[in-house]
Amino acid sequence: MERKELSIATKRAVAAVRSLVIDMTNKANSGHPGMALDATPAMVALFRDHLVADPEHPAWENRDRFVLSSGHVSALLYSMLHVSGYALRMDDLKAFRQLGSLTPGHPEVGLTPGVDATSGPLGQGIAQAVGMAIAEEAVRASGKDRSTFFGHRTYCLCGDGCLQEGIGAEAIALAGHLRLSNLILLVDLNGSTLDGPTSDSNTENVRLRFLAEEWDVIDVKNGDSVDAMSRAIEKAKKNIASPTAILFHTTIGIGSKNAGSHKTHGSPLGEEDGAFAKASFGYNEPPFTVEEAVYDLFRETFAKRGKEAFSRYEQAKKDFAKNHADDARVFDDSFSRNLVPYLPSIRDFSGVSKEATRVSSGLFLERLHASMPFCIGGSADVAGSTKTTVKGSSVFTPENREGRDIHFGIREFAMACAVNGMALHGGLVPYCATFFVFSDYCKPALRMAAMEKIPSVFLFTHDSLAVGEDGATHEPIEQLAGLRAIPNLSVIRPADAKETEGAWRLALESKETPTAIILSRQNLPVLPSTSETKVSLGAYAVREEESPTIELLASGSEVSLALSAAEILHEKGIVARVLSVPSFDLLRRSLRRGETVFALPRENRFSLEMASTFGWAEFAAHPIGIDEYGLSGKDKEVLAHFGFTPEKVAYAIVSVLKEGK
């Protein structure tokens, strides 16, 4: 296109996209036009001149990633995807926010072509983008000469909300520290949040804040100018030393009668103001109309650039494969999640009499790192305690992108979101770890992983009262119940070293479900009757009895406790069949399949767990647990205080049986 032609088409494109936003939100009578309208020029600049992606191959592994962190302005993203050639038809836009559409209220990865991450819960988009940027560096560095064909950028658009959220701050600090120069954050400063002017709740110096976190900052005073935005992005792309934040100033709800006011944030403009706004853009087409010139613009810029890049990539990858056949296979396997060839052989447990399951996990990780060059992870400053410092692996730093040990800092939430971003990016098997009580800090990321249907692995150690001296603040009580209630999250609490091996293998087998593995701080006996493979049943007998009086269900460290209690009960003439129940979700799956798991009806079942009893009633009429906060003290004393000794458990069961009959 000629320069003048380009300029005219661009102006029409901005107007067309804005009009689509107005039409979509009006038709749905729902949605957030405000920032969608003001950020349109930024998006047009990005798509027209910079973003490298092929709308015909939306899953291309080397595409630039784009995350709309302010997911509530989804109408803008959908409109952009539509005009730039993705398989998102006008009818899809018309069905905005309607049941069964490809255009839900907030972007959902896996549903809509071109959407790289689910977003909406504010701040998480930035953190997922940071994970993608880490992933790009890690994938590129993890084989010799991979940079001959692989390398891309991650863009993220956010507003004030994402910046105010703590998760935004954590992610920004992490990205700055790791010097992720492949990350460009477009920060829309429209001066408004849902309740009013941003200044009502935030008066920070955004520029200074990014500088403090070691970012480069580019200010764009006129964020309404496509060309100004494009120049800023061009400049940001040249920065090879740090991530770049482009702070662009806009007017929320531009074009509307309420332009500049938070009133345009959360409600459609309506027919009248919509028409007013469209007129101000000089866009007089009927609703849901895009001129051919607008499609042409993106066809000749974005789509053409993407198609060519895709072809070049295909060729470059072929060339790479000629000289690096093995690594090319590893690369493909990593992206297609063909993990079987990279699994370590099953450990020989003979001679292991006891081991903390966090140690068992650490030993598995060591073997996994050795056999699977694309597994990567780390912890939130508790690597020594969570046993995620892997012998032979180096730290991922700006100077050492081959490192597969990530120091996330004391940022549990950003850590978990970054792992999600890495999983979304593909090419890696990412995991992270912290103390179980701090799963609370990253819970929203676990939900996000479950919604995104990605196989992130979350390790949580120090899983009970047995934490001991650290006391109530550090002793998980309700966390198991909380995680078990999350749909599509597999929660596994292994009873010993063998079950830990099984839990990790299930996590790696999973393709659409994240896994939380809950591990002990203290040593646990390796039990003769446990099994790596039976973990997948969710529950199985570890003490079989022909004619049991009761069944005793337990998980994790309480399985050995249950077995000891069963011995005592036996002496009292009570025959207890004991089940290890590593996972509620896997147990339910077994029951749905019609497996025979239980020998007795629910009324005769007891459960035993050093955690809230909440949720156990589904499987056992008589739950034994702890429905209050823990105490600081020597672990054994704390456990005894709350009744978690074989004698006290046996006594509690006998009491119930006496009362009941």
Q: Within positions 510 to 549, which residues make up the interface with its own copies, using CB under 8 A?
A: none
Assess whether 412 carries a catalytic annotation: yes
Nearest distance from residue 274's CB to its own copies, in Å? 18
202 contributes a contact to its own copies by CB under 8 A: yes
Report d(CA 388, CA 396) in Å as an integer.
13
Which of 412, 551, 558, 609 is labelled catalytic? 412
Of 59, 212, 279, 325, the one binding its own copies (CB under 8 A) is: 212
Q: How many CB atoms lie within 10 A of CB 10?
A: 23
Q: If you ran DSSP here, which 8-state letter would residue 208 be given?
A: H
Report d(CA 164, CA 185) in Å as an integer.
15
Q: Which is nearer to its own copies, 323 or 655 (CB)?
A: 655
Of 140, 305, 407, 493, the one binding its own copies (CB under 8 A) is: 407
Nearest distance from residue 477's CB to its own copies, in Å? 6
Of 28, 42, 185, 390, the one binding its own copies (CB under 8 A) is: 28
How many residues would you count in the chain? Answer: 661
Q: Residues 6 or more apart from 466 whose CB is under 8 A from it? A: 520, 521, 522, 557, 610, 635, 638, 639
Report d(CA 157, CA 358) in Å as an integer.
38
Report d(CA 408, CA 420) in Å as an integer.
14
Total site size for its own copies, rule CB under 8 A: 107
Here's the x/- map for its own copies, 173-192, by CB under 8 A: it reads as x--xx---------------
Q: Which is nearer to its own copies, 189 or 451 (CB)?
A: 451
Q: Which is nearer to its own copies, 152 or 484 (CB)?
A: 484
Q: How many CB atoms lie within 10 A of CB 501?
A: 26
408 contributes a contact to its own copies by CB under 8 A: yes
Q: Which is nearer to its own copies, 528 or 601 (CB)?
A: 601
Structure tokens given for 146: 């991979």
**Among residue numbers 218 through 257, which ones bind its own copies (CB under 8 A)?**
none
308 contributes a contact to its own copies by CB under 8 A: no
HSE (side-chain half, CA atoms, 13 Å) at 629? 8
C-alpha 503, offset from chain centre: 19
113 contributes a contact to its own copies by CB under 8 A: no
Percentages (nearest 5) of helix, strand, coil residues in the chain: 50, 15, 40
**Among residue numbers 82 through 101, which ones bind its own copies (CB under 8 A)?**
97-101
291 contributes a contact to its own copies by CB under 8 A: no
104 contributes a contact to its own copies by CB under 8 A: yes
Taking CB under 8 A as the binding criterion, the range among 14-22, 432-440, 511-519, 551-559 that sits at the site for its own copies is 432-440
Do 379 and 435 touch, CB atoms closer than 8 A?
A: no
Nearest distance from residue 263's CB to its own copies, in Å? 10
Of 225, 258, 261, 488, the one binding its own copies (CB under 8 A) is: 488
627 contributes a contact to its own copies by CB under 8 A: yes
What are the helix (H) ranges across 49-201? 74-83, 90-94, 124-141, 160-164, 166-178
Q: Which is nearer to its own copies, 48 or 263 (CB)?
A: 263
Taking CB under 8 A as the binding criterion, the range among 39-47, 193-201, 283-291, 305-313 that sits at the site for its own copies is 193-201
Q: Which is nearer to its own copies, 30 or 239 (CB)?
A: 30
Nearest distance from residue 472's CB to its own copies, in Å? 6
Nearest distance from residue 213's CB to its own copies, in Å? 5
Q: Which is nearer to its own copies, 46 or 169 (CB)?
A: 169
Q: Which is nearer to its own copies, 306 or 468 (CB)?
A: 468
340 contributes a contact to its own copies by CB under 8 A: no
Q: Which is nearer to its own copies, 9 or 187 (CB)?
A: 187
Report d(CA 615, CA 623) in Å as an integer.
9
C-alpha 297, offset from chain centre: 35
293 contributes a contact to its own copies by CB under 8 A: no
Q: Residues 6 or more apart from 413 whose CB is under 8 A from it? A: 127, 166, 167, 170, 441, 442, 444, 445
382 contributes a contact to its own copies by CB under 8 A: yes
Q: Which is nearer to its own copies, 30 or 280 (CB)?
A: 30
| Number of separate helices (H) and strands (E) present in the chain | 24, 20
Of 410, 544, 572, 647, the one binding its own copies (CB under 8 A) is: 410
**Among residue numbers 114 through 133, which ones bind its own copies (CB under 8 A)?**
118-123
Of 228, 316, 395, 654, the one binding its own copies (CB under 8 A) is: 395
**Among residue numbers 445 through 474, which ones bind its own copies (CB under 8 A)?**
447, 450-451, 468-474
**Among residue numbers 603 through 622, which ones bind its own copies (CB under 8 A)?**
612, 614-615, 617-619
268 contributes a contact to its own copies by CB under 8 A: no
Using DSSP bridges, classify how beta strands 183-189 and 523-525 pair: parallel, antiparallel or unpaired.
unpaired
34 contributes a contact to its own copies by CB under 8 A: no
Q: Could you give the 3-state DSSP secondary structure of residue 246?
A: strand
Please report how the helices 3-28 and 74-83 are oriented relative to each other, as an axis angle in degrees rounded to 10. 130
Closest CA to 396 of 377, 383, 418, 370: 377
Nearest distance from residue 283's CB to its own copies, in Å? 25
Strand order in the sheet with 154-158: 65-68, 154-158, 183-189, 244-249, 216-220
Q: Which is nearer to its own copies, 175 or 226 (CB)?
A: 175
656 contributes a contact to its own copies by CB under 8 A: no
Nearest distance from residue 142's CB to its own copies, in Å? 21
**Among residue numbers 63 through 82, which ones bind its own copies (CB under 8 A)?**
71-72
Report d(CA 438, CA 473) in Å as an integer.
10
User: Which whole-number Å values give the CA distances from 259 to 15, 32, 207, 225, 269, in the listed order?
Assistant: 15, 13, 24, 17, 10
**Among residue numbers 154 through 173, which ones bind its own copies (CB under 8 A)?**
160-161, 164-170, 173
48 contributes a contact to its own copies by CB under 8 A: no
Q: Which is nearer to its own copies, 92 or 224 (CB)?
A: 92
* Ramachandran category for residue 151: left, alpha or beta (phi over 0 → left; psi -120 to 50 → alpha): left
Closest CA to 549 of 514, 577, 520: 577
What are the helix (H) ranges across 344-495? 357-371, 383-386, 412-425, 439-452, 479-484
Nearest distance from residue 178's CB to its own copies, in Å? 9
Of 286, 384, 392, 528, the one binding its own copies (CB under 8 A) is: 384
Nearest distance from residue 22's CB to its own copies, in Å? 16
Report d(CA 396, CA 405) in Å as an integer.
6
The residues annotated with a catalytic role in the active site are: 412
